[in-house]
Amino acid sequence: GQNIDQPTEMTATEGAIVQINCTYQTSGFNGLFWYQQHAGEAPTFLSYNVLDGLEEKGRFSSFLSRSKGYSYLLLKELQMKDSASYLCAVRDGGGGDYKLSFGAGTTVTVRA
């Protein structure tokens, strides 16, 4: 199974940068996803990492170190609309035998 840990809450100022860390332990790693979830809404996909390194997508970047079981999501130039829960998810297996396990999520509050 997976143990996925991420901080419960983070607060930052509009325009600032916030880094959300995620550590995991898994029996068969096959990719790590970050999702954004606004209150009362569905999770939406942000990024995917399967190889070590940094993936950049506009204001959002995600980093992975497989040897350390560690990832982070970096949110730059924070905007008020970035206030949401950010979910780290690890995929175990592939093809039809596909299990995506989520961490408990990090609630990010952006203040003016």
Partner 1 sequence: DTAVSQTPKYLVTQMGNDKSIKCEQNLGHDTMYWYKQDSKKFLKIMFSYNNKELIINETVPNRFSPKSPDKAHLNLHINSLELGDSAVYFCASRPITGRNTEAFFGQGTRLTVV
Site map (CB under 8 A) of partner 1, residues 16-35, x = contact? --------------xx-x--
CA distance 110 to 96: 38
Q: In the range 38-57, which residues lie near partner 1 by CB under 8 A?
A: 41-45, 48, 50
Pairing of strands 2-5, 106-111: unpaired
Six-digit token pair at 42?
């569905």
Count of residues touching partner 1 (by CB under 8 A): 25
- Determine the straight-line distance between the first and last CA of the chain, rounded to whole angstroms: 40
CA distance 1 to 85: 23
CB nearer to partner 1: pick between 13 and 44: 44
Residue in 87, 90, 108, 110 binding partner 1, rule: CB under 8 A: 87
**How far is Cα of residue 88 from the mean position of the Cα atoms in its chain?**
4
Q: In the range 92-111, which residues lie near partner 1 by CB under 8 A?
A: 94-102, 104-105, 107
CB nearer to partner 1: pick between 33 and 63: 33
Q: Does residue 7 touch partner 1 according to CB under 8 A?
A: no
CA distance 20 to 12: 11
Q: Which positions touch partner 1 (CB under 8 A)? A: 30-31, 33, 37, 41-45, 48, 50, 85, 87, 94-102, 104-105, 107
